A and B are shown apart, each in its own frame.
Chain A
Amino acid sequence: MERLVAILVPDLTVETPDGATLRRSLELLDALGVLCPFTEIVRLGLYALPARAPRRVFGGESAVLEALAATVRETVGLEARIGVADGLFAAEAAAHAGRVVAPGGSDDFRRALPLTALGRADLTATAHRLGVRTVGAFADLAPGRVAERFSRAVGVVHRVARGELGELPGQRDASLARRLARLREVDRPDEQRGFFGQRAAGEARARAAALALRRRLGPEGVVVAAVVGGRTPEDRGSLRPWDAPPPPRDPGAPWPGQLRPPTPVTVLGRPAPIELRDGEGGSLEVRRGLLSAAPATIVTGGITRRVVWHAGPWPSVERWWVAPRRRAHVQLVLEGGEALLVRVESGRWWLVGVYD
């Protein structure tokens, strides 16, 4: 489950009739998006972003949190409560407590939460009678027993309690993304318009199917994609749960040093560690923009394959937030004819994608 930073701004949770809250929420989303392009607004007053991305650069999580709090103060003049934990449910609870849960500590943290944190009055009342008072005690009930006693919706909540799902149903305001997009459209009327007539019917059907699927597979089961700004395929492809707000990075902005197409049609959400070796079996490095030797073999998941062709490295040094991030990409063709995109960063090699 992804480690998330949750930012809770209590003064932005209540909507005002004049639309001021909505407008300020959008402003803050854009400002946070500059710090981390993966920032999303979960619902009014609650923002989330992956903890891994900016941490490396700010030199530790506490520096990230300070930068985020400062951004909230400077943009909307309000105080934020910030928390870090795995999955949106635990991250929001951590924000309420103003707590940074240590990596690996999310399970214990989640289990210690009072049952009311799950936000279901029906569940709390019945569970109390069973002597169940914490999320952990509820998680320990067998799923079959939960299915017997509670509604199907509670079954999903149970999976959240067990740490199988990251977020609660209803934790996210599904319509907010659309409303903010509309607000953006009012500001920038040239952007893409909604659908009309036949297209509207098509969209309504697709939405209904997506909703059905989300009920079946959970909040992260259905995903939509967008091309955003960036230099590398892994940066430029944005995947987010269906109905989450669109990413703010502008794909049209100039990104010097962008890797040219073709681009791998499979791009690993989590790059896999690999080893790239020369003919003598030595590890390869990139020095001053050049490979130390020609790659002869690649080892992925314990399997060694022969490399028959390579190109690159294409280095990219980025002012990624504050500190520079040095990466280089290399294209490989293997003996079997498959082509791969790999990347080296701080001396370690990763499989980025496959040209399937």
Chain B
Amino acid sequence: MFASSPRPRLPEALAAAVRPVALAQTRTFSLVEPWNDLIPGGSLRRGGTVAVVAPPGSGGLSLSLGLLSAASAESHWAAVVGVDDPGVVAIADLGLDLRRTLFVPRPGGAWAEATADLLEGVDLVLVRPPTRVSTRSARALGDRVRERGAAMIVLGAPRTPWPSPTDLSLEVVASRWHAGSRLEGRTLRVRITGRGGVRPVEREVTLPDRRGRAAAS
């Protein structure tokens, strides 16, 4: 009889106040401007998978890499799988710390195994699958990410979606270059869809700007 009676709930604000701060921080990877504006909650959740959806050449790679930049700058190890020809200078300009970034440019058919190997050792993994993704390997990787408390970004084109539900999906819906005597910057319009039927929102971000970084639009 006592067991079934509900425990009194703390008011939301009080619950937030007594929640250990350190714990909350270690459960997420931090994001800085302008990324915290794109991600609901302002940080990347440990154990979470984020899908980035963009037609090739429209900014999806910069968007995916940018999401890793703040945590990479804070000494977390990162890995980039399936990006066959990484533009090293641009990646450094975006804010990744190359001293703690591993690249697996051409994993071929072993990309999922390679990603699983990496999740044993690094906190952040960006994957651009070079071959079709089976539902089974997508799920297995999602489970691995959760177990390890890592974060995974999966980059794909609209025609090749990640076949398993993700916490968040960022889709590049428009991409516009600003150019004078040279390329000056690009505005990406990103549609952000969370889980649980929350209405998608759209945000704009400048990526890259004229210094090769991300900036609020």
Chain A min CB distance to B93 (Å): 6
Number of interface residues of B (CB under 8 A): 59
Closest A-B pairs by Cβ, 6 of them: A209-B121, A237-B88, A261-B212, A338-B57, A356-B61, A262-B208
B102 interface residue, CB < 8 Å from A? yes
A291 interface residue, CB < 8 Å from B? no
Q: Do residues A202 and B77 form an inter-chain contact, with CB atoms below 8 A?
A: yes
Residues in B66-107 with C-beta less than 8 Å from chain A: 75-77, 79, 83-94, 98-107
Q: Which residues of A contact B99 (CB under 8 A)?
A: 192
Chain A min CB distance to B67 (Å): 13
Residues of B within 8 A of A (CB): 55-62, 65, 75-77, 79, 83-94, 98-107, 110, 113-114, 117-123, 175-177, 179, 181-183, 185-186, 208-212
Q: Which residues of A contact B107 (CB under 8 A)?
A: 217, 221
Q: Do residues B87 and A265 form an inter-chain contact, with CB atoms below 8 A?
A: yes
Q: Do residues A337 and B176 form an inter-chain contact, with CB atoms below 8 A?
A: yes
Q: Which residues of B contact A202 (CB under 8 A)?
A: 75-77, 100, 123
Q: Do residues B208 and A212 form an inter-chain contact, with CB atoms below 8 A?
A: no
A260 interface residue, CB < 8 Å from B? yes
In the bound assembly, the distance between CA atoms of A287 and B122 in angstroms comes to 50
Q: Which residues of B contact A221 (CB under 8 A)?
A: 104, 106-107, 114
A-B contact pairs, 14 of them (CB 8 A): A205-B121, A213-B114, A217-B104, A217-B114, A222-B103, A223-B102, A225-B101, A233-B89, A237-B87, A264-B87, A269-B85, A337-B58, A355-B90, A356-B59
Q: Point out the residue from B60, B103, B113 that lies within 8 Å of A223, measured CB to CB.
A: B103
Q: Do residues A224 and B60 form an inter-chain contact, with CB atoms below 8 A?
A: no
Q: Which residues of B contact A331 (CB under 8 A)?
A: 179, 182-183
Given A199-B75, A205-B77, A339-B183: A227 touches B85 (CB 8 Å cut-off): no
Q: Point out the residue from A225, A312, A338 that lies within 8 Å of B88, measured CB to CB.
A: A225
A171 interface residue, CB < 8 Å from B? no
Q: Using an 8 Å CB-CB cutoff, how does the interface string of A192-230 with B read, 1 for contact, 0 for none?
A: 100000110011011111101100110001111111000
Most chain B Cβ neighbours within 10 Å, of A202, A225, A354: A225
Q: Which residue of A lies closest to B105 (CB)?
A: A223
- Which bucket holds chain A's interface residue count? 35 or more
Q: Which residue of A lies closest to B92 (CB)?
A: A227
Q: Which residues of B contact A355 (CB under 8 A)?
A: 57, 59, 62, 90, 183, 186, 208
Q: Which residues of A contact B94 (CB under 8 A)?
A: 265
Q: Which residue of A lies closest to B60 (CB)?
A: A356
Q: Which residue of A lies closest to B211 (CB)?
A: A261
Q: Which residue of B lies closest to A310 (CB)?
A: B179
Q: Do residues A261 and B93 form an inter-chain contact, with CB atoms below 8 A?
A: yes
Chain A min CB distance to B82 (Å): 12
Chain B min CB distance to A269 (Å): 5
Chain B min CB distance to A104 (Å): 23
Q: Which residues of B contact A237 (CB under 8 A)?
A: 86-89
Residues in A234-263 with C-beta less than 8 Å from chain B: 236-239, 242, 260-263
